[in-house]
Amino acid sequence: MSHSAVEVLWSRNESPTVKTLAFKWDQEVLPGQFVMVWTPGIGEIPMSLSSLGEIKTITVKDFGPPSAAIISTNPGNKLYIRGPYGNHFTRTDGKKLVIGAGSGMASLAPLVDKNTYGIISAREKSEIILTGNFDQGKVMVTTDDGSMGFKGNTIEALKVFDAKVDMIYVCGPEKMLFAVYNYLKDRGIRAEFSLERSMKCGIGICDSCSIDGFQLCRDGPVFSIDQLGSMKEFGVSRLTYSGKRIQM
Amino acid sequence: MSHSAVEVLWSRNESPTVKTLAFKWDQEVLPGQFVMVWTPGIGEIPMSLSSLGEIKTITVKDFGPPSAAIISTNPGNKLYIRGPYGNHFTRTDGKKLVIGAGSGMASLAPLVDKNTYGIISAREKSEIILTGNFDQGKVMVTTDDGSMGFKGNTIEALKVFDAKVDMIYVCGPEKMLFAVYNYLKDRGIRAEFSLERSMKCGIGICDSCSIDGFQLCRDGPVFSIDQLGSMKEFGVSRLTYSGKRIQM
Amino acid sequence: MTDLAVMAAGIKLENPLILASGILDENGYTMRRVLQEGAAAVVTKSIGTAERPGYKTPVVVDLPDGNLLNAVGLSNPGIKDFGGEIRIALEANKPVIGSIFGSSPEEYGELAHSMQLYGAAAVELNLSCPHVNGTGLEMGSDPEMVEAIVNAVKNRVSIPVLAKLSPNVSNMLEIAYSCSKANSIVVINTIKGMAIDINARKPVLSNYYGGLSGKAVKYVGLRYVYEIKKETGFDVIGVGGISNAEDVVEYMMAGASAVQIGTAVGRYGRGIFSAISHDLALLAERLKVDRISDLKGAAL
Amino acid sequence: MTDLAVMAAGIKLENPLILASGILDENGYTMRRVLQEGAAAVVTKSIGTAERPGYKTPVVVDLPDGNLLNAVGLSNPGIKDFGGEIRIALEANKPVIGSIFGSSPEEYGELAHSMQLYGAAAVELNLSCPHVNGTGLEMGSDPEMVEAIVNAVKNRVSIPVLAKLSPNVSNMLEIAYSCSKANSIVVINTIKGMAIDINARKPVLSNYYGGLSGKAVKYVGLRYVYEIKKETGFDVIGVGGISNAEDVVEYMMAGASAVQIGTAVGRYGRGIFSAISHDLALLAERLKVDRISDLKGAAL
Ligand SMILES: Cc1cc2nc3c(=O)[nH]c(=O)nc-3n(C[C@H](O)[C@H](O)[C@H](O)COP(=O)(O)OP(=O)(O)OC[C@H]3O[C@@H](n4cnc5c(N)ncnc54)[C@H](O)[C@@H]3O)c2cc1C
Ligand SMILES: Cc1cc2nc3c(=O)[nH]c(=O)nc-3n(C[C@H](O)[C@H](O)[C@H](O)COP(=O)(O)OP(=O)(O)OC[C@H]3O[C@@H](n4cnc5c(N)ncnc54)[C@H](O)[C@@H]3O)c2cc1C
Ligand SMILES: Cc1cc2nc3c(=O)[nH]c(=O)nc-3n(C[C@H](O)[C@H](O)[C@H](O)COP(=O)(O)O)c2cc1C
Ligand SMILES: Cc1cc2nc3c(=O)[nH]c(=O)nc-3n(C[C@H](O)[C@H](O)[C@H](O)COP(=O)(O)O)c2cc1C
Ligand code: FES
Ligand code: FES
């Protein structure tokens, strides 16, 4: 048996294109770790866990056929998963800020506690998800079109965010990560970034997820701001599913 | 690495045709268990361990090429062994009698303590081995030709042996075992017999060592008198190395 | 309670578990006991015309992780002296399948005929032993020879004929097609391999080369069962690396009508047949089928 | 201290450990890091003429006991876009061996020529991928085609040529002989296999069939290295199931001049190269040799 078959207990729409699915899986998972979710006949893709209790969840954006297939799994039906894989965010008791864009909020969700602020961005209102995880008044929303919250991008939000925090966690499209990295790099704040790459194997074999010789599926997906500093591929280029190098 | 390479520390002639070889092997072994001893290029045969301390020994009779090759292994050279295999004799604190013939004494040797009597048989004097393991006066020797001890066979010795014992352990040629079995079967004494068969694998795969569907290498080589009572092959027939059934 | 009975090669079996050829099946008393302890049928050791001692020891290498290498070398007493063993095995009142090896279609035919006379429920043609010259794989990699052997045997006996094929070939499918007259195809025999002892600086097996079996070959066996079933539609019996109920179900889903178990019998003891039967019934319940045979071909 | 340097296919290697094709070798930065972390050389992923996405996921199945099944499907960017990756890898100043696959001798020749231009220290011909039609094994099981490919490549490049062969054939030795012009024979590629998920009732790989690699195939690889070395005397590089220093020594004793490591890199991480080098030096001392190369062929 290669995958665990877990039954979907319930699902919930987070936005018109994002859905959370819940299942029972008796496995310890740390924030930032991911699973590979297989839909027989369609494909297998990496998914962060968006809650880590006895009942676990994934929060999936409808993108291509593999993610669409996961989203259309009804309660009572099975998800086929393997993992958990990868390293994890370093937890801290102090004051923290999470910066998430799009479905990137999924992997950040388990980090959110009473002491956590958030900056959540998306193109437009309907794509903003998981704001409810934060305490009242601790979350700042930005949209490209200003249809919700602040009109602008993550960096602009970051500039007006003035609370001092002990740790910043970031997840979202690499362009955003790169911008945040550049903004933070000389500011001496602890920060961890969860990256995305094409992931075929999840177990450090296929090289499709690598960045600067590190395998996202083993050495990542979470890297500290210092680690990113030495990477030549970060924000610059990556390999496609076939292995062709393209610019970001 | 399939076999453990153990260095022969010393060797000692027990008789013109029997030699004991000692080696260090960090492995718990119970009395009656055996190892497979491989001589590269020659063959691999089962050997009981004749002492079980930190320094272990095998006591080998020069029979065919495999046993001759083991015997000619000089101190400093290596034995290639795997195991231990098989079940073992049930130890008891009470008064015991060991009955050994020929190299059968090897597997019985670890059982001998202050409270143990022995009947050792062989065709002639030079084949009598390991008498020194017993306390003075507790061992009875018989030879077919009367060249040492009592002239006669094991059964005749058993008849004159009058001490009451709690357990009898027997090892030697099946003819002898069968005779002892028949002598003891209605006498209500606990007894265990270690059998011999051709042994190719030692791990319950090849069927060459089987008796009545039991594998000597796994279920044996030690069987209780009650187990032997239900066996149709015991003392009657066995398979040769090629698998041909021959009468005993 | 799940119904574990299956039909394989036209033989009704009380459960899908058959003892594979070459493991605990040269002594009639052992076969009888294996049947009494829960196997639905046994395949005998491969028997030839004349007595053969086989290779010198070591004839097996006990590998890690439930794998094994062997080169027993088709040791056998010769067909004339094997009837007695089959007679003893048959006392268990379950099917005994006679495995045979030869060097010509005629010889296979004669051996099969003797097996039928001895009361074998079927005959299994070993066309796949990887470590003996002049038989087994040497004949089994030539589709025309395979066809000639299968046809010769079919003409000589009325009991079902099983053709056991080797994974050590480029053209398994072509060979499978050449067995169209057989009642079932049995895959796989062992994969040719070797083990070296670094202290002795020598191959361990006296024959140097042997056959790999056990847990790791399951994935190779599954592929052959699946591919042959899918392409030819023939009855297929799966063998290779089976050691638990999940493995059995995987093979059945790949299209096997029954399975054979070899190496794991050594590893876990004869009790493996009743243990797997027990687990198989529970697993079938979990998979929501009443009859284990309902799972046959489910993954095709 | 033991001298770990070896000569393989005419290339001097600082230790006998090479990264196998298809594992952590499509991104130049990864190859560079693997070299910096202790591999003596890397073989690139097999590269063809045109870009290929390969198969849909799942492309691997993580099996128990250090085994793996894969059907990546020769995904690659196409030779034109691979020069940049090799350039990055070469920054480690160690040999980079370019693996290629094609569908004709001419195509192999062209690809090899590009690899030479990119600075590859040698070219490895993938004649053995078990799960893609029209290349790999399909060509690699025909001795005449293999000979034509090897000769075409030899005529086109001056760097050493390695022929990587498949274990999924009846006639490996004949194929090996047909590579007489190659500088080394690399064995083995993966063994064709399959895995089934009993809950999903489906083969796991999107391509259904894949290639088995990892610990269990070591015994099959050893056999091929030993047999080819013994019969042909050609230089042989061993690959299949190597995960520790003992495994390396077994392959070298069987006749390998160097070894490649694939699956175990995923299992134990890139650090496996330096870990094995360290253990290899200790093991050589225990075996009383000053140079690891003294063990080459010791079991022949
Ligand atoms: C560590 C990690 C965590 C993630 N967590 C989340 C999360 O929590 N929520 C979320 O919504 N997303 C997450 N993602 C992104 C997610 O895995 C998908 O990449 C994303 O959903 C793309 O959607 P898709 O696969 O449906 O779309 P597509 O664009 O259709 O395809 C991407 C996938 O399809 C296959 N594919 C692509 N191209 C080809 C081709 N040419 N030939 C064959 N097959 C191909 C591959 O399986 C590939 O992974 C995560 C990614 C990573 C790396
Ligand atoms: C559990 C057990 C414990 C034992 N303990 C001891 C002990 O402590 N001391 C002792 O001296 N003996 C012991 N023996 C007996 C020992 O294993 C040998 O069987 C005996 O020494 C015969 O000697 P040999 O193998 O040298 O002789 P041989 O008669 O030459 O050969 C027997 C062996 O040679 C091989 N062989 C035989 N016939 C053929 C053939 N036709 N073709 C190829 N190979 C063949 C096989 O390996 C076979 O086991 C024990 C046996 C068993 C089963
Ligand atoms: C020790 C041993 C002996 C074997 N002898 C035979 C044989 O005589 N005839 C035959 O057809 N297969 C023989 N085989 C192959 C098995 O029947 C079976 O095909 C193979 O071992 C794979 O199954 P397994 O992994 O369950 O062992 C033998 C296998 C082993 C391990
Ligand atoms: C994921 C994966 C991809 C592979 N891709 C290739 C390839 O592109 N070309 C090739 O010649 N071999 C390829 N192979 C085979 C390996 O190079 C190697 O021959 C095989 O895996 C056996 O070695 P191992 O057991 O150390 O992995 C691949 C193997 C794996 C596991
Ligand atoms: S996904 Fe294959 S190496 Fe990370
Ligand atoms: S020696 Fe092979 S079964 Fe006992």
What confidence category does residue C170 fall into, taking pLDDT thresholds of 50, 70 and 90? confident
pLDDT digits (tens, 9 = 90+) for D221-251: 999 999 999 999 999 999 999 999 999 999 9
pLDDT digits (tens, 9 = 90+) for B133-188: 888 888 899 998 888 888 888 998 898 887 789 999 999 999 999 999 999 999 88
D259 Cα distance to chain centroid: 8
Per the CB < 8 Å rule, is B210 touching C59? Answer: no
Q: From the candidates D33, D43, D57, which should be mutated to test the interface with A, based on the most A CB atoms within 10 A?
A: D57
Q: Which residues of D touch A36 (CB under 8 A)?
A: 57-58
Q: Is B234 helix (H, G, I), strand (E, B) or coil?
A: coil
CATH number at residue B68: 2.40.30.10
B23 in reach of chain C (CB within 8 A) = no
Residue of C nearest to D166 (CA): C170
Residue C1 forms part of a structural domain? no
Beta-carbon contacts below 8 Å between B and C: 128
Give mean pLDDT, residues C37-56.
Answer: 97
Give mean pLDDT, residues A148-164.
Answer: 86
What burial class does residue B41 get, using C-beta atoms within 10 Å of its C-beta: 0-12 exposed, 13-18 middle, 19+ buried?
Answer: exposed
- Least confident stretch, B131-145, C5-19, D87-101, D283-297: B131-145
Per the CB < 8 Å rule, is C263 touching B205? Answer: yes
CATH number at residue B232: 3.40.50.80
C129 counts as catalytic: yes
From CA C232, how far away is CA C219, in angstroms rounded?
20
3-state SS record for chain D: CCECCEEECCEEECCCEEECCCCCCCCHHHHHHHHHCCCCEEECCCECCCCECCCCCCCEEECCCCEEEECCCCCECCHHHCHHHHHHHHCCCCCEEEEECCCCHHHHHHHHHHHHHHCCCEEEEECCCCCCCCCCHHHHCCHHHHHHHHHHHHHHCCCCEEEECCCCCCCHHHHHHCCCCCCEEEECCCEEEECEECCCCEECCCCCEEEEEEHHHHHHHHHHHHHHHHHHCCCEEEECCCCCHHHHHHHHHCCEEEEEECHHHHHHCCCHHHHHHHHHHHHHHHCCCCEHHHHCCCCC
Q: Which residues of D touch C198 (CB under 8 A)?
A: 246, 249-250, 253, 283, 287
What confidence category does residue A1 fall into, taking pLDDT thresholds of 50, 70 and 90? low
User: In terms of Cα–Cα distance, which of B199, B202, B152, B198 is closest to B179?
Assistant: B152
Distance A203 CA to ligand 5 centre (A): 6
Domain ranges, residue C172? 6-53+73-192+215-295
D50 in reach of chain A (CB within 8 A) = no
D89 in reach of chain A (CB within 8 A) = no
Q: From the candidates D27, D197, D270, which should be mutated to test the interface with A, based on the most A CB atoms within 10 A?
A: D27
Q: What is the pLDDT of residue B149?
A: 87
What burial class does residue B186 get, using C-beta atoms within 10 Å of its C-beta: 0-12 exposed, 13-18 middle, 19+ buried?
Answer: exposed
A1 in reach of chain D (CB within 8 A) = yes
Residues A222 and A118 both lie in one domain:
yes
- A4-28: burial string, b at 16+ Cβ within 10 Å, e else: bbbebeebeebbebbbbbbbebeee
From CA D111, how far away is CA D88, in angstroms rounded?
19
A226 in reach of chain D (CB within 8 A) = no
Give mean pLDDT, residues C251-261.
Answer: 98
CATH number at residue D156: 3.20.20.70
D77 in reach of chain A (CB within 8 A) = yes
Looking at CA atoms only, how far is residue A130 from chain D in angstroms? 29
Q: What is the mean pLDDT of chain C?
A: 95
Phi (first) and psi of residue D238, to 5 degrees:
-95, 140
Q: How many folded domains does chain B comprise?
A: 2
**Under 8 Å between Cβ of D196 and D203:** yes
Q: What is the pLDDT of residue B44?
A: 98
Residues B23 and B134 both lie in one domain:
no
Residue B90 forms part of a structural domain? no
Residue A91 forms part of a structural domain? no
Q: List C-alpha distances in Å: B139 to B134, B142, B173, D23, D297.
A: 6, 10, 19, 68, 54
From CA A163, how far away is CA C53, in angstroms rounded?
85
Residues A232 and A175 both lie in one domain:
yes
Residue D36 forms part of a structural domain? yes
Residues A19 and A67 both lie in one domain:
yes
Residues 242-281 of D with CB under 8 A from A: 263, 265-266, 269
Per the CB < 8 Å rule, is C226 touching D170? Answer: no
Residue A90 forms part of a structural domain? no
Residues A9 and A62 both lie in one domain:
yes
Per the CB < 8 Å rule, is D206 touching A244? Answer: no
Residues B66 and B116 both lie in one domain:
no
Q: What would the two tokens of residue D62 be?
A: 């993580």
Per the CB < 8 Å rule, is A205 touching D81? Answer: no
Per the CB < 8 Å rule, is B210 touching C30? Answer: yes
Q: What is the pLDDT of residue C139?
A: 76
Residue D136 has pLDDT above 70, yes or no: no
Residue of D nearest to A201 (CA): D60
From CA C48, how far away is CA C54, in angstroms rounded?
12
Looking at CA atoms only, how far is residue A146 from chain D in angstroms? 38
Residues B164 and B56 both lie in one domain:
no
Q: How many folded domains does chain D comprise?
A: 1
| Cα angle for residues B181, B183, B185 (degrees, 5° grid) | 60
From CA B103, how far away is CA B63, in angstroms rounded?
10
Residue D129 has pLDDT above 70, yes or no: no
Percentage of the residues of chain A whose pLDDT score is greater than 70:
100
Question: With a 6 A CB cut-off, is A199 part of the ligand 5 pocket?
Answer: yes
Q: What is the mean pLDDT of chain D?
A: 95
Domain ranges, residue A230? 96-247
Nearest to A44 among D57, D265, D269 (CB): D57
Distance A200 CA to ligand 5 centre (A): 6
User: In terms of Cα–Cα distance, which of B88, B80, B102, B87 is closest to B36?
Assistant: B80
Q: List C-alpha distances in Å: D279 to A145, B178, D263, D284.
A: 60, 54, 19, 9
Question: With a 6 A CB cut-off, is D16 part of the ligand 4 pocket?
Answer: no
Q: Is A51 helix (H, G, I), strand (E, B) or coil?
A: strand
Q: Between helices C105-118 and C83-90, what is the axis angle to 10°?
A: 40
Which of C129, C161, C179, C228 is catalytic? The answer is C129
Residues B114 and B153 both lie in one domain:
yes
User: In terms of Cα–Cα distance, which of B119, B226, B115, B90 is closest to B165?
Assistant: B115
pLDDT digits (tens, 9 = 90+) for A21-36: 999 999 999 999 999 9
Q: Between helices D245-253 and D218-232, what is the axis angle to 10°?
A: 30
Confidence (pTM)? 0.96
**Under 8 Å between Cβ of D233 and D184:** no
Q: List C-alpha distances in Å: D220 to C289, D242, D244.
A: 38, 12, 17
Residues B66 and B47 both lie in one domain:
yes
Residues A74 and A145 both lie in one domain:
no
Last residue of a domain, one of B19, B53, B85: B85
From CA B175, how far away is CA B167, in angstroms rounded?
21
Per the CB < 8 Å rule, is C212 touching D226? Answer: no
Name residues contacting ligand 3 (CB within 6 A): B 205-206; C 20-23, 45-46, 60, 68, 70, 72, 74, 99, 126, 129, 164, 189-190, 213-214, 217, 239-242, 261-264
- Least confident stretch, B43-47, C183-187, D137-141, D148-152: D137-141
Q: What would the two tokens of residue B226 be?
A: 């009650």
Residues B241 and B139 both lie in one domain:
yes
Q: What would the two tokens of residue A7 be?
A: 């039954």
Q: Between helices C105-118 and C143-156, what is the axis angle to 10°?
A: 40
Question: With a 6 A CB cut-off, is B211 part of the ligand 6 pocket?
Answer: no
Residue A190 forms part of a structural domain? yes
Residue C134 has pLDDT above 80, yes or no: no
Q: What is the pLDDT of residue D277?
A: 98
Nearest to C75 among B36, B42, B242 (CB): B242
Q: Which of C52, C56, C75 to mutate to test the pocket of ligand 2 (most atoms within 8 A of CB)?
A: C56
Q: What is the pLDDT of residue B133?
A: 86
Residue C109 forms part of a structural domain? yes
Per the CB < 8 Å rule, is D57 touching A45? Answer: yes
Within 8 A by CB and 6+ apart from D260, the residues are D17, D18, D19, D20, D21, D43, D186, D237, D238, D239, D242
Looking at CA atoms only, how far is residue D243 from chain A in angstroms? 14
Residue C120 has pLDDT above 60, yes or no: yes
Residue D235 forms part of a structural domain? yes
D68 in reach of chain A (CB within 8 A) = yes
From CA D84, how far away is CA A232, in angstroms rounded?
14
Residue C77 forms part of a structural domain? yes
D161 Rama sector, left if φ>0, alpha if ψ -120 to 50, beta otherwise: beta
Residue B91 forms part of a structural domain? no
Per the CB < 8 Å rule, is C226 touching D220? Answer: no
From CA A236, how far away is CA D139, in angstroms rounded?
39
Q: What is the pLDDT of residue C271?
A: 96
Residue C79 forms part of a structural domain? yes
Give mean pLDDT, residues B24-52.
Answer: 97
- Dmax (CA) for chain D in angstroms is 54
Residue of D nearest to C220 (CA): D193
Q: What would the two tokens of residue A226 be?
A: 């210092």
Q: Which residues of A touch D25 (CB under 8 A)?
A: 207
Looking at CA atoms only, how far is residue D192 from chain C in angstroms? 6
Residues B75 and B100 both lie in one domain:
no
DSSP state of C31: H
Last residue of a domain, one of B58, B85, B112: B85
What confidence category does residue D21 fall into, taking pLDDT thresholds of 50, 70 and 90? very high
What confidence category does residue C135 fall into, taking pLDDT thresholds of 50, 70 and 90? low
Q: Is A15 helix (H, G, I), strand (E, B) or coil?
A: strand
From CA D76, how far away is CA D80, in angstroms rounded?
11
Distance B36 CA to ligand 6 centre (A): 11
From CA C52, how far away is CA C70, in angstroms rounded?
16
Q: Which of A183-187, B125-129, C200-204 has the highest mean predicted lDDT (pLDDT)?
A: C200-204
Residues 30-49 of A with CB under 8 A from D: 36, 38, 40-45
Prior bond of D53 cis (ω within 30°):
no
Residue A200 CA: nearest ligand 5 atom is 1
Within 8 A by CB and 6+ apart from A226, the residues are none
Residue D201 forms part of a structural domain? no
Residue C163 forms part of a structural domain? yes
What confidence category does residue D131 fall into, taking pLDDT thresholds of 50, 70 and 90? low
The ipTM assigned to this model is 0.95
| The pairing of beta strand B55-61 with beta strand B18-24 | antiparallel
